[in-house]
């Protein structure tokens, strides 16, 4: 099924979005301020006064706070999304058990790719002895394909958005020659 639905097209680039964990700040603060910290204070106070049975109430409140904090961390809901660039089109495809469904598409000859929201995801560190700084990670961003002033296709959270734009520019040059 490498070229399913693309009879006279070649798939030039196929990628999935980078999945990131995001924090729902409101839930995190509620879990921390209303449950975790008061539960910890009650637990320590009851242990210090020797009332072990009452300290269990503090443990229950701490447990509720931890559950709320864990729920506040969520993953992006982009399961089954794939981004494809052929020699003619840019497509966003959703794959599931029933097959493939094209969500967005545009003609590369008429579109202009633009990078939005580029960021570095990774770690930076300094070697102790050599004092050289290094970083390990990837650049992630959105590549938006515009036709005139309208958005046609949006590749969200793709690694190396600069590389995608250069691939599209090469394809557009080959179309026009």
Residue closest to 15 by CA, chosen among 137, 123, 163: 163
Assess if residue 167 is contained within a domain. Answer: yes
- Looking at the DSSP bridge assignments, the partners of residue 28 are none
**What pTM did the predictor assign?**
0.59
Number of domains in the chain: 2
What is the spatial distance between Cα 175 and Cα 153, in angstroms, rounded to a whole number?
19
Query: Do 91 and 140 have their domain in common?
Result: yes
Task: Please tell me the predicted confidence (pLDDT) of residue 165.
Answer: 92
Assess if residue 5 is contained within a domain. Answer: no
CA 143 to chain centre: 13
CA 35 to chain centre: 29
Domain boundary among 75, 91, 108: 75
Each of the 177 residues of the chain gets a pLDDT tens digit; together they read 344 555 677 888 787 776 656 667 787 888 888 888 888 888 888 888 888 888 888 888 888 888 888 777 765 555 678 888 988 889 888 877 777 788 898 888 888 999 998 888 777 777 777 778 777 778 888 999 998 888 899 998 888 899 999 989 998 888 776
Query: Do 92 and 124 have their domain in common?
Result: yes
Domain span at 69: 23-75
Assess if residue 42 is contained within a domain. Answer: yes
């Amino acid at each position: 099924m490498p070229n399913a639905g693309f009879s006279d097209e070649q798939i030039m680039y196929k990628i999935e979005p980078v999945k990131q964990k995001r924090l729902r700040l409101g839930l995190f603060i509620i879990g921390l301020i209303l449950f975790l910290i008061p539960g910890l204070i009650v637990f320590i106070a009851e242990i210090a006064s020797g009332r072990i049975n009452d300290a269990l109430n503090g443990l229950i409140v701490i447990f509720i706070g931890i559950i709320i904090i864990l729920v506040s961390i969520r993953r992006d809901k982009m399961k089954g999304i794939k981004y494809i660039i052929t020699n003619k089109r840019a497509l966003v495809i959703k794959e599931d058990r029933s097959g493939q469904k094209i969500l967005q598409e545009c003609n590369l000859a008429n579109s202009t790719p633009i990078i939005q929201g580029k960021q570095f995801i990774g770690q930076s560190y300094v070697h102790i002895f050599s004092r050289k700084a290094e970083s390990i990670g990837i650049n992630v961003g959105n590549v938006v394909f515009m036709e005139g002033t309208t958005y046609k296709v949006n590749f969200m959270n793709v690694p190396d958005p600069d590389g995608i734009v250069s691939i599209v520019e090469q394809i557009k040059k080959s179309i026009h020659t």
